[in-house]
Amino acid sequence: MKYEEYGLGNTKEMLLEANMNNYAVPGFNCDSILQLKAMLDAAEVTKKDIIIQISESGLYSLDIETILEIIKRKIKYLKEKNNKIKIALHLDHAKKIESIKKVCLMGFSSVMFDGSNMEFYKHIELMKEIEKLTKEYDVTLEGELGIIFGKEEKNITKTMQYTDPQSAIEFITKTGVDSLAVSIGTSHGIDKINDWNSEGKLKIDILKEIREKMLNFPIVLHGASSIPEREIDKLEKLGVKLSTARGIEDEEINKAIVLNVAKININTDSKIVFFRALREFLENKKTDLEIRDINEYVKGELEKYYIEKINKLTKNIK
């Protein structure tokens, strides 16, 4: 299989391992080489597995060949250093079958098909077709059931629908997906305390009900950034007001991890750190025109964030 040739990890195996050991693998969304290098270095330092996620629009606008080359080089280097961590490359929120075909051929480890707004049985039929395709390449397949509120890239979902546990079990059994993203109160973007979840609590009962029937099945949590308060405070001092920005507390995330949540998707947190670091640099070093200095500072701040997040999610919760 192509992803193995590149030394990339098998996402399904990484998620099952996380489930068995009560931790979650971070799924970090990546929009730039700077982020990529910061997350790879953070994985090296912490010696923990990570999943690098490319969005469907990123697949067509980023230089994926270069991204793959950088990842391959890092994996080779880690092997030489006897660092045994696994790194997977994942396509996030795909809506087009051609995108899934493309990444299977390119050597991604896994894909998520987002059919969350489809009619249930049509969704199952389509997912069965996608599963045949991904299985051919041994690519891990993530599905989604329920509707998650919020802003994911340029798409805004204005409604929310919790995942129905019985439907989730039927969906998993009939489609053969390897993992399932659920809607239990998280939302994409900066405002996670909102009309749909005014207390920031997760619907843990949904996870319990799925787990009763599917003991070790990996569940995925989207919209799970924690929106660190210190970042919002720093931005405020720099003149940027994000007063409604609130994330999901670590305590809630930990409750989910012991109930089979094996991957936590994070995009917004790293965008916030990126922009805070960039603004901070430009504010504090008004006459420093060295692009390398700016890159180094932003990358360093991102790496610190990733290290902290990886350590939080991958410590055995029980």
In whole angstroms, give the CA distance from residue 206 to residue 202: 9
Nearer to ligand 13P, 188 or 203 (CB): 188
Verify whether residue 195 is a known catalytic residue: no
Nearest to 318 by CA among 259, 236, 232: 259
Q: Which two tokens stand for residue 101?
A: 């075909």
Nearer to ligand 13P, 123 or 188 (CB): 188
Nearer to ligand 13P, 31 or 209 (CB): 31
Determine the angle formed by the axes of helices 97-106 and 120-136, rounding to 10 degrees: 20
Q: Residues in the site for ligand 13P, rule: CB under 6 A?
A: 29, 92-93, 188-189, 222-225, 265-269
Which entry of 92, 114, 191, 269 is annotated as an active-site residue?
Answer: 92
In whole angstroms, give the CA distance from residue 176 to residue 143: 10
Nearest to 11 by CA among 98, 137, 194: 137
Nearer to ligand 13P, 75 or 232 (CB): 232
Residue 265 Cβ vs ligand 13P, minimum distance, rounded to whole Å: 3
Q: Which two tokens stand for residue 195?
A: 């009309």
Residue 92 Cβ vs ligand 13P, minimum distance, rounded to whole Å: 5
In whole angstroms, give the CA distance from residue 201 to residue 212: 21
| Residues 49/86, Cβ–Cβ less than 8 Å | yes
Residue 150 Cβ vs ligand 13P, minimum distance, rounded to whole Å: 7
- Amino acid identity, position 173: T
Q: Which two tokens stand for residue 263?
A: 């991957």
| Residues 265/27, Cβ–Cβ less than 8 Å | yes
* Residues 59-76: b if buried by 16+ CB within 10 A, e if exposed: beebebeebbebbbebbe
Residue 22 Cβ vs ligand 13P, minimum distance, rounded to whole Å: 21
Residue 276 Cβ vs ligand 13P, minimum distance, rounded to whole Å: 15
Nearer to ligand 13P, 92 or 209 (CB): 92
Q: Torsions phi, psi of 38, nearest 5?
A: -65, -40
| Residues 16/216, Cβ–Cβ less than 8 Å | yes
| Residues labelled catalytic | 92
